[in-house]
Structure 1
Amino acid sequence: MIAADKLRADRALAALCVDPAGLKGMVIRARPGPVRQAWDEALSRLALPLRRIHPGLDDTQLFGGLNVAASIASGHMIRDAGLAESAAVIVLPMAERTPPGLAARLGQLLDADTGHALILLDEGAEPEEMSPPALAERLAFHLDLSGFRAADAQPSLPASADIDRAQANLHSVVVLPEAVYTLTVTAARLGIASLRAPLLALRCARALVALEGDDIVTDEHLREAAELVYPCRATQIPEEPQEPPEDTPERQNGDQTEGDGNNSLPPEDMLIKSVAACLPDGLLAARDKARTLRGAKGSGAGQRRKGNRRGRPLPPRPGRPDGRARIDVFATLRAAAPWQALRRKSRETDQKLIIHPSDIRLRRYEDRSDRLVIFAVDASGSAAMARMAEAKGAVEILLAEAYAQRDQVALVAFRKEGAELLLPPTRALVQAKRRLQALPGGGGTPLAAGIRAAIDIALHARRGGLAPTLAVLTDGRANIALDGGASRARAREDTNAMAVAWHQLGLPGLVIDTSPRAGPDSAALAEWLGARHLALPRADSRRISTAAKSALAS
């Protein structure tokens, strides 16, 4: 199977060498290594020059545009040429990280038919990590080199003279109308909705014909083109047509030929059989799962974060306009103002305003998400009421500042055999005060249950676009295990396990020991959590809220 895949990969690259602008390019999925390097070097055989870009490319670098700094310095308009100024093969490493904006611009560039081709070097390790489907769908070939061995990595390509001759004969290749019909019907039966697929398959067949020195597209060329273009796009395999019974009139009249059954199949059925043979087992199911995961990844509230990013202005900075950053006009004028007299004198001009590129200032904004402070309060023992009162005051203080700081607050109380969510994440002060009027206290110390409840809240909040942090008010002396049993040894093991689980989330935390005499247990808990530790005996609400805000800022 590897040998057949290697042969098809070689044929796809050879066809791309003949007609890069018509076939638009290919997706090469492979992790960095000898195989990827060999294919990367083989791209130099393409007729067009190679131009490498990165996923962070901006519009000015790609399409060109006004050079603001040079135009201001010279006094007349100066434009920079972009990478897409002339036809080229654009190579994009780390294609699985391509942002939607760049994918859309590259798609528009390919649709303009200006002679460009695109090579997507997909380095994704997981099924959901893949090149943008809308961009990959515009490229003729999709090669997965993950199963290739380093010894067989080097592509086998025709000689340069053969490729040059094929390019010269490409426009003289004849395509019969039946070939177009066959490729279109085959694509439809394979569940391929886009008309680009049969068009790219037809261009591939013409390139293969030109490589062989022929002048007409045959069924064999159509079969090979379908095997190269359709497998990466197929979403279904149609059922095989049922042969008519032997006693049908057609067979009785001898209209069907005897012998090999494949010779009696329509051309599109033969192509479907060929494409199906090229699909690895489970490919369609894996592709559907990857598309589902990719769609879910970008559609949840935790990824889009609707309504929780406003952007706060920050001091401007010197920089070069790149088409994305905005120029701060007033800051630019302030930077240029002290030098106007000297500049007019050195230039011997009466020009009122002379701005140099070094004067340009760009606007900056602080882009951050809402923050959630999860208070996990120890409500056990005789001192519970005091700690609960302190937590209540700290929560009310933070809620009063939430409107300005964009913070939300949640409150978990753990006592007896488990933990209870007393206040879900909120910044509504009226609702919080109503929930905080009566807080229960007394019983054992199920510290592990309290941390587990905080983890559940943090995971849910992070999916909703919040940035959680944990503030635990406890002395660290757990005596109730997760199953509700009264055992200090098992309670300590469960607490440490939950603390490690929080630490692995990579979220900040704070342990506040409010007991009259701070012991080593709370410090050990902070170490397991990967959090800061503060010993605040008899701390009031203001000190607790200040400590929580300090943990947020760190």
Structure 2
Amino acid sequence: MIEDPSAVQVQGQLALTLLAVDPAGLGGLHLRSRAGPVRESFTAPFKTLFPQARRISPSISDLQLFGGVDVGETLTQGRIVIAKGLLATPKPIILTMAERCEAGLAARLSQTLDAKTGHCLLLLDEGAEEDEVAPRAITERLAFRVDLEGLRYVELASMVIPPESLTQARAILNDVKIPEGTVDALAITAARFGILSLRAPLLALAAARANAALNNRKTVTDEDLQIAVQLVYAHRATQMPVDEDPPEDQDTETKPDDTPDAQSPKQDESELTIPDELLIQAVKAILPFDVLAALEGSGRTKTASGSSGAGDKKRGNRRGRPLPSRPGRLDGGNRIDIVATLRAAVPWQTIRRAQFPDRQGVLIHASDVHVRRYQEVSDRLVIFAVDASGSSAVARLAEAKGAVELMLADAYARRDHVALIAFRGEGADLILPPTRSLVQTKRRLAGLPGGGGTPLASGLKAAGELAQRVRAQGLSPSLAVLTDGRANVPLPGKTGRQAAQEDAHTMARHIRNMSLPSAMIDTSIRPHRDLQQLCGVMAAKYIPLPRADAMGLSRAIHSALGE
């Protein structure tokens, strides 16, 4: 357990040093810290260890990264100009504001790291919230992660490595031998900590070799492996290892072998066996106290900022509703707006012809280039999860049927689909698959059954599974739950009202982690406290409607889901 804050700094500086020894093998370092004196102090050695490092931002273009025909300069100079990309020469790269990195850039950088051409990456992750993190596609390819949250400038320690030591370590790195059984021990340790990626053992092996080379050793030792698993595995752990005790009936007492050959055999370093428990305890020694709680929300997606009533909107450059053109670069991902480009260039023709009297045609500079923009709007799906249990089921189902039909009446204008899940008895059923057909909806809703217990957890689970499926199909799902909040049927395998409440809260947290816009309509005569608490867990809007008709219910759902 780490209690000294300066230990974080020491481990981080060691990670930077090992990265300088083997940048291609270790990939890079993920630094989680806001901009300030603490981060500046930590990254100060990076300038010495990697003097040729280049700093980039998430808005960098493909032309700047990979190179190619520079259209702007080609138009200006009247000849083909080939720009050299940043990745043409292997060098360290510093990505600022990594939490804003888009999926496309993350894929390109990941592909570059996989090529093992000598690049390494320092991610400066400035996210303020738990869901503001750098893309996992990049971070899982980086050996190290350092979190400077909570450290003060006066608590930072320094670690200076002589340049000649780095030069010597790089020279002997390829000659460092790996003892037999090392790879197996690293893989077993990773599996026991719940690390499923095969990249982790490979990165740990590279870190152990780099540490051995840094200490002028020709063979990886136990000390090198302990340092490697601490730096590579600790932040990747998803579970604590279970102690494996030997069976009680196993005979643990063995008779000593007094033969001369078996007393103290001389073991070759190349056949050194590494005890797995040694590596397990090394990782446990630096795991933070709340490691499991910290890792629980690491995969969350960003919270939706709201809905426009017609699904998610995103800017594009290929299809969708046209937006006004804007000045931009032609980097292979944009499309030029010829009319807007000519319109921007025409007022400057007199001045430019005076500068270039021998040029013919319209003189276009890079600053004149305008690119097309489009806005893609995905269809939205409103999932109704209706409580069809109890004596008031008939009233609730009538309201839900009317609301579904009203919402479908203007579906073509709002680009809405609807689906209906009814939960009652022991589970939930998909009564109406996603549709925009009003005729099919009326036919399916005509024989909707009711009565029985209230399996609220099953209803939320079914809604979450449906939302995941339709997202993969390009729809933007939203959820409207109609219930009185009295969950009394748990998920299969459990019994009791308390288990039913716990399962409902578990499914509510799952809905929240999906960033699914939700509304909870309380149809009970009096507002239910348990249902209000469930809304807080699910991040849903609570709407008490004890006597709502179909029209009022439809308006409430439209308002709650952001239309």
TM-score scaled by structure 2?
A: 0.59
- Residue 131, structure 1, aligned to residue 134, structure 2: yes
| Identity %, equivalent residues | 45
Residues 429 and 274 of structure 1: CA distance in aligned 2, closer, same or farther (over 3 Å) = closer
Counterpart contact for 1:321–1:327, Cα < 8 Å = yes
Deviation, 1:279, is 1.0
CA distance in 1, matches of 2:139, 2:204: 15
CA distance in 2, matches of 1:353, 1:183: 65
Q: 2:370 aligns with which of 361, 367, 370?
A: 361
Q: 2:287 aligns with which of 264, 276, 279?
A: 279
Could you report, residue by residue, the CA deviation over 1:331-359 in whole angstroms, capped at 9, with x for unpaired residues? 44566689999999997779677655455
Deviation, 1:108, is 0.9
Could you report, residue by residue, the CA deviation over 1:273-322 in whole angstroms, capped at 9, with x for unpaired residues? 211222112312421x213533x858999999468987432444454424
CA distance in 2, matches of 1:203, 1:304: 50
CA distance in 1, matches of 2:86, 2:240: 41
CA distance in 1, matches of 2:347, 2:30: 54
Aligned residue identity for 1:290: G
Could you report, residue by residue, the CA deviation over 1:43-75 in whole angstroms, capped at 9, with x for unpaired residues? 112235121111222212222222112112333
> SS of 1:291's equivalent?
coil
Could you report, residue by residue, the CA deviation over 1:354-410 in whole angstroms, capped at 9, with x for unpaired residues? 655455332234567899xxxxxxxxxxxxxxxxxxxxxxxx9xx99x9679799xx
Counterpart contact for 1:370–1:465, Cα < 8 Å = no
Map of 1:113 onto structure 2 = 116
CA distance in 2, matches of 1:184, 1:11: 23
Map of 1:291 onto structure 2 = 298
Unaligned residue ranges in structure 1 (runs of 5+): 258-264, 372-395, 409-425, 432-458, 468-482, 486-504, 506-551
Map of 1:187 onto structure 2 = 190
Could you report, residue by residue, the CA deviation over 1:200-253 in whole angstroms, capped at 9, with x for unpaired residues? 111111111122122111122111111111112222233222145597165356
CA distance in 1, matches of 2:244, 2:414: 66
> SS of 2:93's equivalent?
strand
Counterpart contact for 1:298–1:304, Cα < 8 Å = no
Q: 2:208 aligns with which of 191, 199, 205?
A: 205
- Residue 58, structure 1, aligned to residue 61, structure 2: yes
> SS of 1:121's equivalent?
strand
CA distance in 2, matches of 1:302, 1:345: 51
> SS of 1:362's equivalent?
strand
Map of 2:97 onto structure 1 = 94
| Aligned residue runs from structure 1 range 31-430, under 5 A | 31-47=34-50, 49-243=52-246, 245=248, 248=251, 250-252=253-255, 267-287=275-295, 289-294=296-301, 297=303, 305=311, 311-332=320-341, 355-357=364-366, 359-365=368-374
> SS of 2:30's equivalent?
strand
Could you report, residue by residue, the CA deviation over 1:88-109 in whole angstroms, capped at 9, with x for unpaired residues? 2211222222211111111111
CA distance in 2, matches of 1:215, 1:137: 28
Counterpart contact for 2:70–2:83, Cα < 8 Å = yes
Map of 1:545 onto structure 2 = none
CA distance in 2, matches of 1:405, 1:465: 21
Residues 181 and 341 of structure 1: CA distance in aligned 2, closer, same or farther (over 3 Å) = same
Structure 1 vs Structure 2 CA RMSD:
5.2
Counterpart contact for 1:297–1:303, Cα < 8 Å = no
Deviation, 1:142, is 0.8
Could you report, residue by residue, the CA deviation over 1:126-156 in whole angstroms, capped at 9, with x for unpaired residues? 3322221221110111112224332132431
CA distance in 2, matches of 1:249, 1:135: 47
Counterpart contact for 2:195–2:236, Cα < 8 Å = yes
> SS of 2:181's equivalent?
helix
Per mean C-alpha deviation after superposition, the further-off stretch among 105-114 and 228-237 is 228-237
| Aligned residue runs from structure 1 range 474-553, under 5 A | none
CA distance in 1, matches of 2:309, 2:162: 49
Unaligned residue ranges in structure 2 (runs of 5+): 264-272, 381-405, 418-434, 441-477, 481-511, 518-523, 527-539, 541-561
Aligned residue identity for 2:173: L
Would you say how many aligned residue pairs link Structure 1 and Structure 2? 415
